[in-house]
Amino acid sequence: FDHGKVTVIYVLGGPGAGKGTQCANLVKDFGFCHLSALPAGDLLRAEQNREGSQFGSLIQTCIKEGTIVPMEVTIKLLDNAMQAAMAENRLGDGWQDGRGRFLIDGFPRKMDQAVKFDETVCLSSVVLYFSTTEEVLLERLLVRGKTSGREDDNVESIKKRFRTYKLDTMPVIEYYTSQGKVAEVDSTGTVEEVHALAAQVVRDALT
């Protein structure tokens, strides 16, 4: 597809910050302009479980250890998902202006991915950054862990995810901050409060 015909919003924030929850609600709001959410972690988990995947065990190990899967794998999955979304909608009556609009949830979370995606796929319009404290993140993840079945929702993996977030992802947020692209939203409040703030950022980015 024509990479010039996409608008991308990167969605970042610590583990459990509410990226997935907020992206789902934003897609409902902005469905009229065919906004799609591409959750990088979910794409990786699906690839991990796909029969015949050559990356299954690599992905599983990274997720459990809270480390970042090599960027080639994630970028390929994202590019494929963008292509599929664009192709499907060309057949229907969506995307009448031919533009794909994507919230990329949980990516790029390391500098190498950020540089590579910007260079080879497309530049993001804005980085929606959900910030809150580690205490809030931990509590949310432990609550979710009771029912999520996610292999990384346990105290040991969560601590490793926090470490990776600080080491690998904070530099990405600083990098885009220096480019003036980051819109920071405090995600400590209720889902509704955070949603109101996030929706304003997306509205500004799409208009």
User: Which residues make up the interface to ligand UP5 (CB under 6 A)?
Assistant: 13, 15-21, 40-41, 44, 62-63, 66-69, 74, 106-107, 109, 140, 143-144, 152, 161, 187, 190-191, 194
Determine if residue 21 is labeled as part of a ligand binding site. yes
Question: Which of Mg ion, ligand UP5, none does residue 145 bind to, with CB < 5 to 8 Å depending on kind?
Answer: none
What does 21 interact with, of ligand UP5, Mg ion, none (CB < 5 to 8 A by kind)? ligand UP5
Pick the closest to residue 169 from 8, 7, 15 (CA basis): 15
Under a CB-based contact definition with an 8 Å cutoff, are residues 98 and 87 in contact? no
Known binder of ligand: residue 18?
yes
CB of 86 to ligand UP5, least distance (A): 20
Count residues contacting Mg ion (CB under 5 A)? 2
Of 97 and 192, CB closest to ligand UP5: 192
Among 13, 15, 18, 20, binds Mg ion (CB under 5 A): 20
Partner in contact with 18, chosen from Mg ion, ligand UP5, none, beta carbon below 5 to 8 Å by kind: ligand UP5
Q: At closest approach, how far in Å is the CB of 95 from Mg ion? A: 25
Token code pair at residue 114: 């950020």
State the Cα–Cα distance between residues 165 and 172, nearest whole angstrom. 10
* Residue 47 binding: pick among Mg ion, ligand UP5, none (C-beta 5-8 Å cut-off by kind): none
User: Is there binding between residue 45 and Mg ion (CB under 5 A)?
Assistant: no
Residue matched to tokens 């500004």:
204
- Is 19 labelled a binding residue? yes
Rounded Cα distance between 131 and 129, Å, is: 6
Chain contacts with Mg ion (rule: CB under 5 A): 19-20
